[in-house]
Amino acid sequence: MIKIGVLALQGAVREHIRSLEACGVEAVVVKRKEELQDLDGLILPGGESTAMRRLIDKYDFMDALKEFAHSGKPMFGTCAGLILLAKQLVGYNEPHIGVMDIQVERNSFGRQVDSFEADLAIKDVAETFPAVFIRAPHIVEAGEDVEILCKHNDRIVAARDRQFLGCSFHPELTDDHRITAYFVEMVKEAKQKQLV
């Protein structure tokens, strides 16, 4: 049985758990760093990246998250989670976890009042996906080995770099579980490789 955790410090945790369960995998609410050890994959949910970083530091999660990232296990960051995974952030000297070869700009679609929905074509996932953008970041630049999965108005809003998946929007706020299912497949493939 595949076991995927959702970092439960802040943000849309319950919605991700529901989406994972809809995809038929065991979903774990992760509140302590020790819980990362038993997981096959991890979702970093949307929320507020600054608040999330404060809580990561408060509960001493950062080294454990970096270790998880370097273990080859897949991670999926949505909205604030994408910011946590990026190697570079516009206007900041230091990244957070810093494992995805992308540069991200925070709140690049405007403030909360500028939230919107858009139907997106996402490579290998869906021809049309209902994406919810709330104070969303976007990917300004992607390294040459990064696979760009989706753009909205010429801005990159979903990408994959090896075992890391990131998107600007909130797939968990819809009843469409196809992006979660795509991540579950990434986790299954990675687990298969580790067993070989």
| Alpha-carbon separation of residue 132 from 80, 153, 176 (angstroms) | 13, 15, 11
Give the pLDDT band (50/70/90) at residue 128.
very high
Structure tokens, 101: 């070869």
Per-residue pLDDT, averaged over 140-162, amounts to 96
Select from 18, 21, 39, 17 the least CA-distant residue to 29.
17
pLDDT number for residue 10 = 87
For the chain, first and last CA: distance in Å? 17
Give the pLDDT band (50/70/90) at residue 161.
very high
Is the model more confident about 49 or about 170?
Answer: 170
pLDDT number for residue 15 = 96
Reported as a single tens digit per residue, the pLDDT across 129-149 is 999 998 889 999 999 999 999
- In the residue annotation, 15 being an active-site residue is answered as no
Which of 16, 138, 170, 177 is catalytic? The answer is 170
pLDDT higher than threshold 80 for residue 111: no
Per-residue pLDDT, averaged over 146-165, amounts to 96
pLDDT higher than threshold 70 for residue 112: no
- In the residue annotation, 150 being an active-site residue is answered as no
pLDDT number for residue 109 = 63
Place of tokens 């075992």: 163
CA distance 191 to 123: 23
Structure tokens, 194: 């580790």
Which of 16, 79, 167, 177 is catalytic? The answer is 79
Domains of the chain, first to last: 3-195 (3.40.50.880)
Structure tokens, 7: 């970092």
Kindly report the pTM of this predicted structure: 0.95
Select from 187, 146, 189 the least CA-distant residue to 6.
187
Farthest CA pair distance, the chain: 49
- In the residue annotation, 96 being an active-site residue is answered as no
Give the pLDDT band (50/70/90) at residue 48.
confident
CA distance 52 to 54: 5
Which of 105, 138, 167, 172 is catalytic? The answer is 172
pLDDT number for residue 155 = 93
